[in-house]
Amino acid sequence: MSRPARLVLALSAGLLAACQTAPAPAPTAAPSHAEIVRGELAQILAVEYPACGTVRQHSRHDRLDYLVVCDSGVTFRVRVGGDGRVLITPADGR
């Protein structure tokens, strides 16, 4: 077999092999900042208040200070104290 014929055959084999590979999976969208914060707040509340369920809504009042409304309807204040500990208090003061 001549050199050009072997070159064409090698290129054809390479192209055929490339066509046989599975397509790359579609990239998934990264979670938004709000989704990440909601998930973190839900994990924090699940430890002390499992009845909270999922976090329906949250709003930031200050750095590391959030007001959280649970699916159960209960509202909590979740914040980080000066000593670095997470403090969870019912928003109605109970």
User: In the structure encoding, which two tokens stand for residue 28, read together?
Assistant: 């998934």
Position 75 in a domain: yes
Domain count, the chain: 1
What is the rounded distance in angstroms from the CA atom of residue 94 to the CA atom of residue 88?
11
Please list, in sequence order, all residues whose beta carbon lies within 8 angstroms of the beta carbon of residue 61, skipping any fewer than 6 positions away: 67
State the pLDDT at residue 14. Answer: 52
**Whole-prediction pTM:** 0.65
Position 24 in a domain: no
Position 54 in a domain: yes
Can you tell me whether residue 50 is helix, strand or coil? helix
What is the rounded distance in angstroms from the CA atom of residue 56 to the CA atom of residue 42?
9
More confident residue, 25 or 82: 82
Position 72 in a domain: yes
What domain range includes position 72? Answer: 33-90
State the pLDDT at residue 28. Answer: 85
Position 60 in a domain: yes
Position 79 in a domain: yes
More confident residue, 50 or 22: 50
State the pLDDT at residue 15. Answer: 52
State the pLDDT at residue 18. Answer: 52
State the pLDDT at residue 4. Answer: 61
